[in-house]
Amino acid sequence: MWVYAAKRVLYAIPIAIGVSVICFSLVYLAPGDPIQSLIPPDATAEDIETIRRLYGFDKPLVLQYLDWLARALTGDLGISLQSNRPVIDEVTRALGNTLAIAIAAILAAFVLATILGTLAAFNLGRPIDKIATSISTIGVSVPNYWMGIVLVILFAVQWRLLPATGMGGEGSEHFSWLQWDQARYAILPMVTMAMIPLGVVTRSTRSAVADTLSQDYVQLLRAKGLGEMQVVCHALRNALPQMLAVMGLQLGYLIGGSILIETVFNWPGTGLVMSRAILTRDIPLLQGTILVLALSFVAINLIVDLLQTVIDPRIKRA
């Protein structure tokens, strides 16, 4: 097990280096100058060169990359051009804020999807299967930003039950899921965020459990007189690796791809930071955010891989 884990960690290193090269160079492929958001529209050519030199953008690109990589390895991702704050602080704060709702959303979706998918698989073609499939289809196909706006109109504007935006009256530094006056800010974004994973994991659970139920050994279990709950447990255990893989991917998507939801709810997470970095062409912030998100994605996949081998040792042998 430990050898397998060490191998997987080693495999992640070249991926991380590749990610660093791609994320550093990608942002330079976009048209425009990295300092153009810093210079006033009527800046003279001399001023433009001075500002380029002061920010270090006059050095060759390779030197800039090596310098950036050397600093990144020590946890220094540079300074945001716009806010003038350390990028690592900006990204870790935002990542923590996104994780606060993403993990809650993925757990809620996983629990609900497991119940719905299993019920559907045990009742294929029956009304309960149709209901579960409909919920799954709605989750996958309804645009989540639209869903977010609808929830805000209903719960915040019309009924005033929950707040519309933000992460608490005093900001994210005081946020806690354990205090209702703070936690209530997270409910609408969390529910909105859970919709797609709910749809995807329900489908995947239904299919995996139905597939397991069609295996001969399930007939054998029933023939040996096991109760339905025990059969469910067997079926779920066999379906779990596939469900975990889907869930891991979904968590990765939520961490990096929640720009629209975070914009609708003004939730100060990675999506908002990335959107801000793109719109203001804040290259250090963009590079740092992409790097941290990509490494998070690699880390999540690694954890999922290891969990899968714990649940199903055949994966390790394969």
Partner 1 sequence: MHMITRYRRRLIPAALAALAMGSPPAALAQDLPGGVLTVAMTVSDVPDWAGMPDQGFEGHRFVGYSLYEGLVSWDLSTSDQEVDIIPGLAEAWSIDPENPSRWIFDLREGVSFHDGCAWNAEAAVWNYQRLIDESHPGFNQVDFARARSRTSTIAEVELIDDMTFALHTTDVESLFPYNLVYVLMVSPCAYEAAGNDRAAYAATPSGTGPYVFGSAVPGERLELLRNDAYWNPDRIPQHERLVLLPMPEATTRAAALLSGQVDFVEAPSPDMIPALEGAGMTVVLNEYPHYWPYRLNVLEGPFADVRVRQAANYAINRDEMVALLNGTATPAFGAHTTNQRNFGEPYRFSYDPERARALLEEAGCLPCEVTIGISPAGSGQMQPLPMNELMQAHLSAAGFDVTFEVIDWNTMIGVFIRGAVAHPEYDAINFSSASMEPLQFVKSFMKRFQTPGGSNWGGYHHAEAEELMAAALQSFDPAEQDDLIRQAHELVVADAAQIFVVSDLNPRAMAPHVQDFVQAQSWFQDMTPIRVE
Reference 205, options 230, 251, 231, 236; nearest CA is 236
C-alpha distances (whole Å) from 265 to each of 44, 74, 92, 261, 295 are 40, 34, 19, 6, 26
Q: How far is the CB of 285 from partner 1 (least distance, A)?
A: 10
**Where does residue 200 rank: exposed (0-12), middle (13-18), buried (19+ CB within 10 A)?**
buried
H or E stretch covering 266? none
Q: Which residue has the tokens 């993925």?
A: 106
Judged by CB, which is closer to partner 1: 74, or 84? 84
Binding footprint of partner 1 on the chain (CB under 8 A):
30-33, 35-45, 47-48, 50-51, 54-55, 82-86, 89-90, 93-94, 149, 152-153, 156-157, 160, 163-167, 170-173, 263-266, 268, 272-273, 275-276, 279-281
Q: Give me the helix-helix angle, 144-151 and 180-213, nearest 10°.
A: 140
Judged by CB, which is closer to partner 1: 85, or 237? 85
The most distant pair of C-alpha atoms in the chain lies apart, rounded to whole Å, by 86
Judged by CB, which is closer to partner 1: 85, or 314? 85
Reference 204, options 121, 261, 143, 146; nearest CA is 121
Q: How far is the CB of 179 from partner 1 (least distance, A)?
A: 17
Q: How far is the CB of 85 from partner 1 (least distance, A)?
A: 6
Judged by CB, which is closer to partner 1: 121, or 164? 164
H helix intervals, 123-227: 127-141, 144-151, 180-213, 216-223
Q: How far is the CB of 276 from partner 1 (least distance, A)?
A: 4
The DSSP annotation for 36-98 comes to: TTTS-TT--HHHHHHHHHHTTTTS-HHHHHHHHHHHHHTT---B-TTT-SBHHHHHHHHHHHH
Judged by CB, which is closer to partner 1: 22, or 153? 153
Q: d(Cα 228, Cα 213) in Å, to the nearest integer?
A: 11
Q: How far is the CB of 182 from partner 1 (least distance, A)?
A: 13
Neighbour tally for 256: CB within 10 Å: 21
Judged by CB, which is closer to partner 1: 4, or 145? 145
Judged by CB, which is closer to partner 1: 172, or 238? 172
Q: How far is the CB of 35 from partner 1 (least distance, A)?
A: 8
